[in-house]
């Protein structure tokens, strides 16, 4: 027995640290992640903790003075909030969620962000790398699941990878055609220490990814030639103008050439609504003249847009008489839907700058008047009816009144459906980045989280969410986030007790067979108050103005519910799959 | 239906095969054959994907979409006449004791195929060539009794004097797609 004791003592002396110089202590993977966020000037993130992301949340605890974290109520809310943040501020939105359900709840915002080109970096926890592929608790193959819907994804299993991968992630998310990047962060890589000092080098180019920003001169010259020869040129601009921050360049270009222009849904607010060359927006529920005149132009100048089917209707019949100049950063979008005679691959801002000296000064008064003539028809048939002030309150009058009261300067976050289209029609935008909508994916439930995300991204702006009663209930839990973070978000529910857009289609195309579109709604105001958010309901037209004033005057978050006409339809309308010429005004 | 051979050069990273094939799935294009190997340059993989399609424009769109994947370095789409291509096939042929013996001379001289393994009552014959050549040989050898037959995907090199790898940059330059 004595022997045994000897041995133990001996071992103890052996394992005692040798008194040489101290081994350097490096950052853990999670700490490195925080340093990466700081290096990318990220000061706000949206997230929800959970098992596999706990080491990162633990590291975040030491950084809360520099990185503000908004705790959402559901991961989908984190994603849409990051989108709202990114869209209003032009920065990259960051979300932090856990593995398994945390990650899968984020899929909808990721799919939304890829189709609407929103830069996101989604950091998703993952089980320990030793457990990968074993159906471990809360393990989901996030790489497999997100591959079809994200711009890039990567699984980090070694803390040493963190700086390099995050630098790539931020570069990929923001550059070229922006999009969501998913970082699948294994729990052991979060917890383990790096084996070398943390060094962060921003990525500005990659061998396998180098989007062209400055267009080729010969493409610009060809485009300019086509534009200069045009007798009836027409500009369609899209979200790309806002993403490229090319608002001023577009304005200069339009003012020099005097070409009439129209916006896509997501291009809204890139051009002030009251500009004499701005003809409105086009698309399925867009305005009459911008839609119809696509059949009359001889040269179409498409800037930062991708000929979505909601813009073109039947694409084989869309602008088939015109020659097309297509300014687009993503080469795979050129010729995808419409063949472009003069494609310009590059950033909208750079392209417009380069085109400026090559295009002639123009005067298209006569051509512009043709648009204006059609506007009269739309005004008589649609606008007058929408703003008639007869019967129940109509969505249009709420939006028009809000537009007046905010002087067209608020940032409007909309959900998906009739209210989204009505807002696009009746809000008179004056400032860029003021119409935040889920355009491509059409995600109901987008607006509540996106509006507080937008408020975080632009705290000085008035943010008003305009939301349908159906949409509101899809992410209603995020009222808790708004209350807890004290964000002064204003929300208007346009309540018609219906899934209005689906109901409209059922009425027009399915023979009035209202299949599951009527809602039994809760008392929204009581719910809001339960969350600690003040609000009231407006049922009568004579109270509408005061109601909006009360909401706008509130220094805190506020919910205004407006009971609107139950069975109102949105016109004009280009029925799906038909050509723009078949647009209906009633 | 026209046969197209799509050559994709990529960085060698996990999951890239999935990222590439998922685009074929989305566009509902069936992959006839697929071969992946490392190129003469270390760390760069080469995918050779054969598809059949009626519309050239659709293939062009496919090529552009593949190019869009981060980590993809270059994509080339080819018609058969633009490339030199081959496949390899192995035939396990039954040669029972008192059965008909295989005519090695015909196999070698006419069909340019080789017996690569002699078993007790079977042989393994290797045949390289185009899909058509392999199937001609298949028809010839079939009466002997094919126990097993396996054919590889296509490998192809372009007929241009340049190596495709020369289109890959030492540093960032602009990518072109060829079709």
pLDDT in tens, B8-24: 999 888 889 999 999 99
pTM of the model: 0.92
> pLDDT at position A20, please?
59
Beta-carbon contacts of A79 under 8 Å, excluding residues fewer than 6 positions away, are: A46, A95, A106, A108, A109, A110, A112, A113, A120, A122, A449
What's the length of chain B?
179
Digit-coded pLDDT (tens) for B73-108: 889 899 999 999 999 999 999 988 887 888 899 999
Report residue A88: phi and psi, to 5°. Answer: -80, -30
What's the length of chain A?
586
Chain B positions in Cβ-Cβ contact with residue A207 (cut-off 8 Å): 11, 73, 169, 171-172
> pLDDT at position A208, please?
84
Contact A89, A42 (CB under 8 A): no
Chain B positions in Cβ-Cβ contact with residue A111 (cut-off 8 Å): none
Residue of B nearest to A336 (CA): B61
Residue of B nearest to A173 (CA): B70
> pLDDT at position B168, please?
60
Q: Which candidate in B18, B55, B68 is best for mutational testing of the A interface (most A CBs within 10 A)?
A: B68
> pLDDT at position B166, please?
65
> pLDDT at position B179, please?
39
> pLDDT at position A577, please?
86
Query: Which run of H or E residues covers position A176?
Result: none
Digit-coded pLDDT (tens) for A252-310: 999 999 999 999 999 999 999 999 999 999 999 999 999 999 999 999 999 999 999 99
Bin A282: left if φ > 0, else alpha if -120 < ψ < 50, else beta. beta
Do the chains contact at B11 and A207, CB–CB below 8 Å? yes
Digit-coded pLDDT (tens) for A409-455: 999 999 999 999 999 999 999 999 999 999 999 999 999 999 999 99
Bin B119: left if φ > 0, else alpha if -120 < ψ < 50, else beta. beta
- pLDDT (mean) for B117-143: 94
Q: How far is A450 from chain B (nearest CA, A)?
A: 28
- Among the partner residues A172, A207, A212, nearest to B73 by beta-carbon distance: A207
Q: Is the minimum CB–CB distance between B41 and chain A shorter than 8 Å?
A: no
pLDDT at B178 over 80: no
Q: How far is A152 from chain B (nearest CA, A)?
A: 7
Confidence bin at B164 (pLDDT 50/70/90): low
- Among the partner residues B18, B64, B73, nearest to A332 by beta-carbon distance: B64
Q: Is the minimum CB–CB distance between B65 and chain A shorter than 8 Å?
A: yes
Chain A positions in Cβ-Cβ contact with residue B174 (cut-off 8 Å): 210, 212
> pLDDT at position B172, please?
35
Residue of A nearest to B19 (CA): A147
pLDDT at A5 over 70: no
Binding-site residues on chain A for chain B (CB distance < 8 A): 143-144, 147-148, 151-153, 155, 172, 205-210, 212, 330-332, 335-336
Do the chains contact at A207 and B172, CB–CB below 8 Å? yes
Report cis status (omega within 30 of 0) of the bond before A572.
yes
pLDDT at B134 over 80: yes
- Among the partner residues A144, A155, A208, nearest to B70 by beta-carbon distance: A208
Confidence bin at A19 (pLDDT 50/70/90): low
- Among the partner residues B22, B26, B65, nearest to A332 by beta-carbon distance: B65
Beta strands (DSSP E) in A169-303 are 180-186, 233-237, 261-263, 278-281, 299-303
pLDDT at B174 over 70: no
A398-A404-A408 Cα angle (round to 5): 105
| Residues 119-178 of chain B whose Cβ lies under 8 A from any Cβ of chain A | 169, 171-172, 174-175
pLDDT at A570 over 60: yes
> pLDDT at position B167, please?
64
pLDDT at B146 over 50: yes
| Residues 2-31 of chain B whose Cβ lies under 8 A from any Cβ of chain A | 10-11, 14-15, 18-19, 22, 26
* Cβ pairs A/B, distance under 8 A: 47
pLDDT at A17 over 60: no
Contact A534, A556 (CB under 8 A): yes
Share of chain A above pLDDT 90, in %: 92
Residue of A nearest to B171 (CA): A207
- Among the partner residues B19, B73, B175, nearest to A147 by beta-carbon distance: B19
Do the chains contact at A207 and B169, CB–CB below 8 Å? yes
> pLDDT at position A14, please?
47
Chain A positions in Cβ-Cβ contact with residue B19 (cut-off 8 Å): 147
Contact A498, A519 (CB under 8 A): yes
Question: Chain-wide mean pLDDT for chain A?
Answer: 94
Residue of B nearest to A206 (CA): B172
pLDDT at B116 over 80: yes
Q: Which candidate in A207, A326, A329 is best for mutational testing of the B interface (most B CBs within 10 A)?
A: A207
Closest CA to A288 of A577, A574, A576, A509: A574
Whether the CA torsion A123, A124, A125, A127 is positive or negative: it is: negative
- pLDDT (mean) for A94-99: 98
Chain B positions in Cβ-Cβ contact with residue A212 (cut-off 8 Å): 174
Chain A positions in Cβ-Cβ contact with residue B59 (cut-off 8 Å): none
Angle formed by the axes of helices A447-457 and A75-89, to 10°? 50
Longest dimension (CA), chain B: 66
Q: How far is B170 from chain A (nearest CA, A)?
A: 8
Contact A315, A323 (CB under 8 A): no
Residue of B nearest to A147 (CA): B19
Share of chain A above pLDDT 70, in %: 96
How many angstroms separate the Cα of A284 from the Cα of each of A231, A584, A586? 27, 10, 14
ipTM (interface predicted TM): 0.85
Beta-carbon contacts of A253 under 8 Å, excluding residues fewer than 6 positions away, are: A235, A352, A355, A356, A359
């Amino acid at each position: 027995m004595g022997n045994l004791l000897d041995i133990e003592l001996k071992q103890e002396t052996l394992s005692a640290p040798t008194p040489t110089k101290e081994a350097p202590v490096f950052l853990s993977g999670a700490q490195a992640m925080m340093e990466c966020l700081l290096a990318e000037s990220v000061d706000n993130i949206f997230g929800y903790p959970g098992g596999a992301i706990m080491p990162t949340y633990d590291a975040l605890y030491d950084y809360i003075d520099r990185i503000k974290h908004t705790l959402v109520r559901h991961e989908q809310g984190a994603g849409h909030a990051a989108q709202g943040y990114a869209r209003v501020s032009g920065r990259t939105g960051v979300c932090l969620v856990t593995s398994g359900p945390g990650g899968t709840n984020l899929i909808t915002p990721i799919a939304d962000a890829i189709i609407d080109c929103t830069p996101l970096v989604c950091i998703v926890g993952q089980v320990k790398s030793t457990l990968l592929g074993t159906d471990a608790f809360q393990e989901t193959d996030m790489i497999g699941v997100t591959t079809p819907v994200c711009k890039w994804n990567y699984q980090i299993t070694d803390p040493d990878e963190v700086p390099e991968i995050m630098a790539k992630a931020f570069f990929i998310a923001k550059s070229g055609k922006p999009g969501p990047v998913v970082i699948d962060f294994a729990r052991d890589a979060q917890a383990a220490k790096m084996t070398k000092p943390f060094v962060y080098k921003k990525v500005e180019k990659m061998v396998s990814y180098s989007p062209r920003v400055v267009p080729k001169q010969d493409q610009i010259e060809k485009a300019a030639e086509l534009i200069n020869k045009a007798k009836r040129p027409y500009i369609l601009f899209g979200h790309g103008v806002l993403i490229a921050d090319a608002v001023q360049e577009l304005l200069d270009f339009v003012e020099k050439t005097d070409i009439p222009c129209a916006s896509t849904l997501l291009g809204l607010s890139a051009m002030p609504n009251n500009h004499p060359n701005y003809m409105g927006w086009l698309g399925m529920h867009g305005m009459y003249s911008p839609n119809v005149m696509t059949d009359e132009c001889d040269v179409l100048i498409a800037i930062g847009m991708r000929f979505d089917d909601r813009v073109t209707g039947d694409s084989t019949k869309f602008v088939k008489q015109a020659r097309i100049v297509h300014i687009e950063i993503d080469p795979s979008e050129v010729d995808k839907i419409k063949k472009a005679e003069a494609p310009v691959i590059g950033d909208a801002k750079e392209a417009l700058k380069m085109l400026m000296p090559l295009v002639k000064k123009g005067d298209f008064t006569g051509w512009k008047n043709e648009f204006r003539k059609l506007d009269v028809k739309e005004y008589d048939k649609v606008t007058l009816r929408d703003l008639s002030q007869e019967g129940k309150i109509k969505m249009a009058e709420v939006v028009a009144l809000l537009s007046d009261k905010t002087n067209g300067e608020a940032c409007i976050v909309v959900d998906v459906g009739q209210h989204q289209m009505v807002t696009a029609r009746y809000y008179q935008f004056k400032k860029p980045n003021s119409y935040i909508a889920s355009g491509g994916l059409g995600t109901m439930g987008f607006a509540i989280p996106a509006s507080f995300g937008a408020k975080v991204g632009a705290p000085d702006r008035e943010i008003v969410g305009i939301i349908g009663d159906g949409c509101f209930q899809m992410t209603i839990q995020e009222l808790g986030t708004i209350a807890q973070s004290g964000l002064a978000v204003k929300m208007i529910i346009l309540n018609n007790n219906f899934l209005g857009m689906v109901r409209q289609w059922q009425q027009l195309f399915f023979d009035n067979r209202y299949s599951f579109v009527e809602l039994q709604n809760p008392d929204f105001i009581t719910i809001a108050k339960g969350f600690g958010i003040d609000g009231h309901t407006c049922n009568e037209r004579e109270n509408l103005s005061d109601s909006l004033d009360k909401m706008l005057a509130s220094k805190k978050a506020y919910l205004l519910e407006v009971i609107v006409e139950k069975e109102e339809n949105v016109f004009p309308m280009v029925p799906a799959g038909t050509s723009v010429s078949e647009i209906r005004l009633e | 239906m026209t046969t197209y051979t799509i050559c994709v050069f990529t960085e060698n990273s996990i999951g890239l095969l999935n990222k590439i094939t998922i685009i074929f799935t989305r566009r509902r294009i069936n992959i006839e054959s697929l071969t992946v190997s490392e190129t003469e340059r270390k760390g760069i993989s080469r995918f050779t994907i054969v598809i059949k399609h009626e519309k050239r424009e659709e293939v062009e769109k496919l090529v552009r979409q593949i190019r869009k994947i981060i980590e993809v370095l270059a994509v080339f789409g080819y018609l058969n006449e633009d490339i030199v291509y081959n496949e390899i096939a192995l035939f396990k042929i039954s040669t029972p004791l008192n059965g008909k013996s295989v005519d090695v001379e015909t196999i070698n001289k006419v069909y340019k195929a080789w017996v690569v393994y002699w078993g007790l009552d079977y042989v393994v014959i290797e045949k390289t060539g185009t899909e058509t050549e392999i199937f001609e040989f298949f028809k010839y050898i079939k009466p002997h009794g094919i126990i097993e037959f396996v054919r590889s995907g296509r490998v192809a090199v372009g007929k241009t004097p340049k190596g495709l790898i020369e289109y890959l940059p030492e540093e960032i330059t602009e990518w072109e797609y060829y079709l």
